[in-house]
Structure 1
Amino acid sequence: MNPTAGPAPPILSRHHRVFLPVLAALIALAWMALWAWARSPYGRYLEHADWTASGPAAFLCRIVPAGDVVVPMVLYAASWILMTTAMMLPTTLPLFSTFDRLTAERPDHGRLLLLLGLGYMAVWGAFGLLAHALHSAVLSLLASVPTLAWHGWLIGAATIALAGAFQFSKLKYRCLEKCRTPLSFVIEHWRGHAQARQAFALGAHHGLFCVGCCWALMLLMFAVGTGSLGWMLVLAAVMAIEKNVSWGRRLSTPLGVALLSWAAVLVATHA
């Protein structure tokens, strides 16, 4: 340590002492909650199956108005928010870090960070509802067409192939570049007036690009099991590397090849 060096700037000191530990604790709590939920008697709710068949969810479905729709949606929203917090917050750490330093001197600094996070999570929540609707539609189709039910592997193979093909799309790289340059993104979209509205809009706007580059990989959870913590960790690591590591952009092509090969193997073994 250089004895002639002065003390660290207050903003950087607070950033390292407060912000980073708090965000790391939030991510750790989300993973711990998912682990505890998966190991509990209600772990099947993470798989989005049999929510209305038995247990507390079935009881709530009977006593809550429109419970067959409302209760599964609430349970799904809770599991999706936990998944998104655990998997996506590590990938967006540079955005929150940049915004934290930019707004550190403002008296409403904490509220602005919270609104940034809410805007980001709102977009992923909307995507989660769309994914839930698609998943429910696929399950209804399987239930009504016995031939498809006997060949359910086709849906998994198609999902994996879609994720692999998307790795080569221009949309993937355009959105990924926005996610990899958080400072430019914040400077481009943050004006400093109407702070609360702009903080939420900034988080939502960044969330759109985040969904744009990661939606196909997130859909893989429906193919490999939405309650699988192992796959969550693998996909979270892949997305974090793609966004935050200098060579992460080069990971997309081999990942696409691997996913397409996996889909081909599934087709070959079942055809």
Structure 2
Amino acid sequence: MIAARIRSMGSPHWLALYGVILLSWGALYLMTLPADLRAAGAVYGAEFLASLCIVTPDAAGYLGLVAMWTIMSAAMMAPTALPAFAAYDDLSARAGGGFRWLVVGFLAVWLGFAVLAAALQMALFQLGYLSIFGDSQSLLLSGVLLALAGAYQFSALKDACLTQCRAPLAFFMSHWAEGPVRNGLRLGAVCLGCCWALMLLAFVGGVMNLAFMAVAMVLMALEKLPEIGRHITRPLGVVLIASGAACLGFGLIG
């Protein structure tokens, strides 16, 4: 059974999905600003960075940020949904295709998230809470985001969304008649319900910090696994709340 499953995940539509994920991470790598250029930017100012076409609010503008968040969402969230995609692929193999439209619906939801996240980044940058790299410049902002993400780990909405993500076969069986696009939208919505608060921690860890994105992706993927996720969600919430409290304490003292 496992060998057959692995072989089926080498079919063209799976290879196309893997290609999207790899291209997204490749694009993120190309957009990441190396440490030496960050140092040069600190010396020569924002005009130096703008001249390098770096994706920052002042250089790229809102649409550039939307594109960056879209790529980041695809790179981070598509891998976390692989078990759900596999469950749908098993069902659709018997009932007649639709895999690509499921993925389209899923990514459409995260495109909507990218639009809102880019607007939030632009607003926080204009208010001086974020650097041009998308990193928090305020311990108070960092503390609020960490505490919010930590508290959300204990919420009923998070638990309900994780329940759906951890049982993709039952999820799709319940909504199968709606078709692949609407199933993709539903899957994207419950995935967003699981992960939006953790995704916003990019403002704390660094919007273009590949290490942060990789760690966050792994944590979000593990949360969606039934046997592992239940042991991660609440402890992670405790760590985030404690980190947020520490940031808020230092911010108020400072």
Cα displacement string for residues 95-120 of structure 1 (whole angstroms, at most 9, x for unaligned residues) = 2112212222567x3xx222111111
Cα displacement string for residues 169-200 of structure 1 (whole angstroms, at most 9, x for unaligned residues) = 111101110111110111111127xxxxx211
Select which of 40, 51, 54 maps to 1:55: 51
Contact persistence 2:139–2:250 (CA under 8 A): no
> Are residues 1:88 and 2:88 paired?
no
Contact persistence 2:21–2:74 (CA under 8 A): yes
TM-score using structure 2 length: 0.79
Unaligned runs of 5+ in 2: 39-45, 130-136
Amino acid at match of 2:228: W
Q: 1:185 to 1:40 in 2, by over 3 A?
A: same
Contact persistence 2:145–2:200 (CA under 8 A): yes
SS in 1 for 2:93: coil
CA distance in 1, matches of 2:75, 2:14: 15
1:4-153 equivalence runs, <5 A: 12=5, 15-18=8-11, 20-39=14-33, 54-55=50-51, 72-104=61-93, 109=97, 112-142=98-128, 152-153=138-139
Q: 1:106 to 1:166 in 2, by over 3 A?
A: closer
Amino acid at match of 1:129: V
> Are residues 1:246 and 2:239 paired?
no
CA distance in 2, matches of 1:266, 1:56: 33
Query: Rg: which structure is higher?
Result: 1
Indicate the RMSD between aligned Cα atoms, in angstroms.
3.0
CA distance in 1, matches of 2:95, 2:34: 43
Deviation of 1:22 (Å)? 4.5
- Correspondence for 1:232: 213
TM-score using structure 1 length: 0.75
Cα displacement string for residues 40-97 of structure 1 (whole angstroms, at most 9, x for unaligned residues) = 79x98xxxxx69x833769xxxxxxxxx99x623322221222112111111011211
Select which of 199, 208, 218 maps to 2:199: 218
Unaligned runs of 5+ in 1: 1-7, 45-49, 59-67, 144-150, 193-197
CA distance in 2, matches of 1:141, 1:81: 23
CA distance in 1, matches of 2:236, 2:95: 42
Select which of 255, 259, 263 maps to 2:244: 263
Q: 1:267 to 1:55 in 2, by over 3 A?
A: same
- Correspondence for 2:185: 204
- Correspondence for 1:64: none
- Correspondence for 1:147: none
Deviation of 1:20 (Å)? 4.7
CA distance in 2, matches of 1:40, 1:113: 37
Aligned sequence identity (%): 37
CA distance in 2, matches of 1:73, 1:267: 29
Deviation of 1:33 (Å)? 2.4
Amino acid at match of 1:28: L
Contact persistence 1:15–1:100 (CA under 8 A): no
